[in-house]
Amino acid sequence: MNLPYIHEDWQIDTLENLFRLFNSKAREGVLIRSRGASKSHDTMKWCLYMIYLGFEIIYFTANASQLERPKIYMKDLINRSFLKWCIHDKNDLQKEKVEFDGGGRLTLVNLTENKAISPRADAIVFDEERKADPDAYNNTHGIFADTDLGFTLHISTPEKATIFEDTCDDLRLEGIRDNEQYIFERVIYDVSFLWDRRRAHYERLKRKLPQWLWDQEFECKFTLPHGAVFHNVKYVPYPDWLMNLIQNEHLCSGVDWNPVSGHWLVSGKWTPDLMNFVFLEAHDIGKGYALNMNMDQFQIIAQHGSHGKHITLEKGGINAEYIIWYRKLQAKTGFNWSNQNIHTEEWDSQGVEKQKIVTNIIQNGITMWCDKTREDLAV
């Protein structure tokens, strides 16, 4: 391929690793890169090689305006290589697709609900996944109905509270379970053709941009606009030193009422220095408003408390009815309220206390541990 530059080693390594993941359990890969670090260009090289081998690929962009860039890359890379002799119809280069004589096909598509439902392919790419429409994204599950490969490549810069963040969280957990690397990150300081060549420009940009935006766009961090960076949550198996620290500590439990998403009883322990909180249990109480709650749901809470474990229940506001429901069944069954170590706490309707807690956790560097590979934390 006659390109006007030389690939950096990490670019070649990443593309090779994507092919290795064809044999993984998840059959997915994630490229998280700094803005300008050639993620779409490198992905297009991968796509063209795949269709040269005879595979069919659908390349989704989050909106119509993003189609132009991969279309330019597709045309340029083909014209700079032997692939220009493999094209079935040269007029395709003026469109959003290309088909090779060997049967491989690449189609560039704006991700919408209708366009995500019916097509079939061996692999799909989600470009700038952080901007993807959730409904359209979820409609793509049928694309792999007719293939044995079924590989998905997610590429984007980070953004909090998006489908892309959910994807990364899931694949980090999958990687722990499978002993596999599914996520490949590259921050700006590790990209020579950006940082080394235009360092003064990026240092000036770093001083100019809000810290959260710089972290998000150039350091591959999922950040919030007010600057909070949630790197204090570790989704890994608990090390022995941590379990030894909490062995003799009290178990803290609380119930969060949510009639639609579901009620949960969650438990954990603090380390003696209050710098680590370890989640140990998560019990699904089920859904429903107070008038629909049943004895089985009551038993989950009551039995947990009867073992001497302290539980805090939210009361007040919309949660008041749940406390009334619980106390009625408590009287009916004979469970003693005080002996169960069950306490109530006024519902923080304005979110003031919640914000104080989050601020305290972030400012003091408190680490939250959640090993989702444990059966009792499979939420």
Question: Considering the chain, what is the average pLDDT of its residues?
Answer: 84
Phi first, then psi, for residue 46 (nearest 5°) are -60, -45
Looking at the structure, do residues 89 and 26 belong to the same domain, yes or no? yes
Residues 174 and 277 placed together within one structural domain of the fold: no
Same domain, 79 and 171: yes
Report in angstroms the alpha-carbon separations of 146 from 44, 142, 280.
23, 9, 41
pTM over 0.75: no
Residues 89 and 193 in one domain: yes
pLDDT 10s digits, 122-167: 999 999 898 887 778 887 878 998 899 999 999 999 987 788 988 9
Looking only at the bridges linking them, the beta strands covering 105-110 and 97-99 are antiparallel
* Beta strands in the chain, from DSSP E residues, in sequence order: 28-33, 56-61, 97-99, 105-110, 123-127, 151-156, 183-186, 233-234, 252-256, 263-270, 276-286, 310-315, 342-346, 367-369
Domain assignment of residue 114, given as a range? 9-203
* 170 alpha-carbon distance from chain centroid: 5
Asked if pLDDT for residue 175 goes beyond 80, the answer is yes
Structural domain ending residue among the three candidates 187, 203, 219: 203
Same-domain check for residues 310 and 167: no
Q: Looking at the structure, tell me whether residues 126 and 244 fall in a common domain.
A: no
pLDDT at 354 over 80: no
Alpha carbons within 13 A on the beta-carbon side of 334: 0
**pLDDT of the residue at 12:** 92
**Domain presence at residue 68:** yes
Q: Does 1 fall in a domain?
A: no
Query: Which single residue is written with the structure tokens 């901007």?
Result: 131
Q: How many domains does the chain have?
A: 2
- In this model, does residue 379 exceed pLDDT 50? no
- Digit-coded pLDDT (tens) for 308-346: 677 888 777 777 888 888 888 888 887 665 555 677 777
- Over the stretch 75-120, which tens digit does the pLDDT of each residue have? 999 988 888 898 887 777 777 888 898 889 999 988 875 666 667 8
